[in-house]
Amino acid sequence: GLYNLTVQIQNSGSGGTEDLKKEAKNAFDKAKQLCPRCQDIFSGIIRSYLGAGEYELSKKTSENCMNLFPSFDDCLWLRGVSNIYLNNLEEGRKDIEAFYSLGHDPVNYGVQSELLLAYVSIKDKNQSKEYYQDLVEIYQRLILTNEATVQYHASLAYVYFSLGRYADARKEANEVLKLKPELKASVEA
């Protein structure tokens, strides 16, 4: 129930409908009443806030989660992701690096996909060199999870190009051609 509501909100396009948000909030409130110290409930709550575009609320909830469950690393991760959505890159990076330093594998598809969504959401707000450098790391890690994904190579080529790293961009474009030769005209353009 709770998970399905969270997925519906995240997949509903522009932050979810108000009815889904209200239903999810009521479900999570009820779950908290039934099991106030259940850690996973907080992960679901925070992710539903992220899916609904409630980034300040997701950050505050992740901080509450960290206070209640100091050894539950998902709270730290989600605070980092919340900070990225809020365009607080430096704070977000610190939390994410701290999460990795606890032994979590950064070459994990789910982790990097969640992080990529946050970065893509702030693209219009942040065109800094640091922003693009973070994207390089994310795409490199996603490629390690699945080298055959053309979109990751194409996106990494674009990011390298945006950074002025033309040789690296060309290398990734060649990877796209190896995987999908029919894209030659697009790659050359």
Interval 119-177: pLDDT, tens: 999 998 888 899 999 999 999 999 999 887 899 999 999 999 999 999 999 999 999 88
Output the furthest CA–CA distance in the chain (Å, rounded): 59
- pTM, two decimals, is 0.78
* Mean local confidence (pLDDT), 5-26: 55
Please determine, for residue 28, whether its predicted confidence score (pLDDT) is greater than 50: yes
Return contacts of 129-138, CB within 8 angstroms, 24+ apart: 129/163, 130/89, 131/89, 132/159, 132/162, 132/163, 133/163, 134/89, 134/93, 135/159, 136/160, 136/163, 138/112
E strand or H helix that includes residue 50: helix 39-51
Exposure on the CB side of residue 171, measured as CA atoms within 13 A: 8
Q: Which one has a higher pLDDT value, 37 or 3?
A: 37
Question: In the chain, what percentage of residues exceed pLDDT 90?
Answer: 57
At residue 116, the pLDDT reads 96
